[in-house]
Copies of this chain bind each other. A is one copy, B any other.
Amino acid sequence: MTDPTAPGPLAATAALMADPARARMLAALMSGEALTAGELARIAGVTAATASGHLARMADGGLLAVHAQGRHRYHRLASEEVAAAIETLGGLAARIAPARAWTHGEAAREARLCWNHLAGRLGVALHARLVAEGWLTPAPGGWDATAEGRARLAATGVAIGEAERSPRFAAHRCIARDCMDWSERRPHLAGGLGREIARAWLGRGWLRRLPAVGEGDLLARRRIAVTPEGARGLRESLGLATA
């Protein structure tokens, strides 16, 4: 006989995201970076004591992975699944509450990071372009890249070999998957390939990070823009026009 008042796993997980302070921490961690407990306390707007409790709960619940280093404790999202769940819920929330439409600035709608890959109009346009040119081909649960696609992307500095280091690629040749973009309502590219694309283009200066727009910016560390060299490179290498 199970306790009928026991919170199901769904309720328990949702409860971990249901607190404003915890939600602010999770939003900050959507940048993909690992942040210290102190940084997260400041972001969430609570004292270190309160933040410590929140972080312990989320780590215990499997949402966060913790890495101790010296007297700092670095926290990051535990897995891509966690990031996907947060993104899905966030998108649902944005759709449900269009009260004040889009409070994050037009630039963030143009390009931003989602977890560790590109989102916004740029991410969606990239996804559409890769599919339209036949550079991506369906694989179970996502996409594989064709030889032509691999060559094109490698020419932009993307480490295809790194993108293939995942159990999903080993099992099903699935190098990328879709992630629903909550500002564009169309998919952008996630998974190993999405991660490597963002890493490569940030690394070669095609994309640059933008500063947060204020205290407690929910998109802090996720704001990016295409540089002039990036616009030229994307046009010449992939035929991708940017705004």
Contacts and interface: CB of A to CB of B under 8 A. Distances in A.
A13 B186 contact: no
A96 B10 contact: no
A138 B133 CA distance: 12
Interface of A: 4-20, 22-24, 26-27, 45, 61-63, 81-82, 84-86, 88-97, 127-128, 131, 136, 138, 140-141, 172, 178, 180, 186-187, 216, 218
A20 B45 contact: no
Name the residue in A14, A131, A141 with the highest tally of chain B Cβ atoms < 10 Å from its Cβ.
A14
The quantity of this chain's copies bound in the complex is: 2
B84 A88 contact: yes
Nearest to A188: B141
Given A20-B6, A131-B140, A93 B216 contact: no
B4 A23 contact: no
Given A9-B90, A10-B27, A141-B180, A18 B15 contact: yes
